[in-house]
Amino acid sequence: MEDSRLGIPVAFPDLIATILQLPDRVVLVVSVYVEGNSEEALTSTIRLLRSLVADIQGRGGTQTDMLIIGDFNKHDQLWGGDKISSARQGEADNLIDYMSENSLHSLLPRGTKTCTSINRASRRDDHSAIETEFDISVPDRPVNERLLLKNAPWVEIRSRVASNLQVVPLGGSVQEQMDRLITVITKAVLELTLKAKPSLYVKRWWTTDLI
């Protein structure tokens, strides 16, 4: 599978962004650092993320996925677990609103420690190395041939069916005779009817589960 990576210029020293261009979608990968004890820093970062995503999606026609990796210096029980003090609740509301707005969720299990010291442990900071693997391959789906029934040569089909029925054995139950008739008709239709060319707009990732 061919892909290309393109860095995005961002006028912000604590944010790095790149695009992973895949055949059927774009993955926006962003690395973020937010200064601790600064509500304005978090607000500015989220504002910049919104602008960045809007710009990528505004290029049109391609599904955009988003992966944000960062140290936001904010605690919340949503990712930190029950050991986060109630006094810290609320400091990450802007970040949680942004996650909800974009249907984002943490890839780490709730309560995972990423920074440990003798006196304290943080569950949000990315001080410890975290290795994440993504399977971005799209399984190939067989293209089902579609018959051009509106252009089917019905005269030839009827003639072929009548000819083939001459050699079909008689007798048996009504169901057996019906099965033989359906087999003859189906065979004639498949052999004499042209097939439509696969559409260029068919999405190989589409399944009925997405309806």
Give the pLDDT score at 1: 36
Give the Cα separation of 194 and 182 in Å (integer). Answer: 19
Residue 83: CATH number of its domain? 3.60.10.10
Please give the tally of structural domains in the chain.
2
Write down which residue in 69, 103, 122 finishes a domain: 122
Structural domain includes residue 142: no
Based on the domain organization, do 165 and 108 belong to the same domain? no
Among 116-130, 136-150, 193-207, whose mean pLDDT is lowest?
116-130
CB-count burial class (<10 Å; 0-12, 13-18, 19+) for 134: exposed
Q: Based on the domain organization, do 101 and 169 belong to the same domain?
A: no
Cα gap 19→27, rounded to integer Å? 6
- Specify the pTM: 0.52
Whole-Å CA distances, 56 to 4, 28, 30, 45, 195: 15, 8, 12, 17, 39
Q: Summarize pLDDT for 131-163 with one digit per residue, the tens.
A: 777 666 666 666 677 888 888 999 999 999 999
Q: Does residue 36 form part of some domain?
A: yes
Parent domain of 86: 4-122
Residues 104 and 155 in one domain: no
**Which contiguous run of DSSP H or E holds residue 47?**
helix 39-57
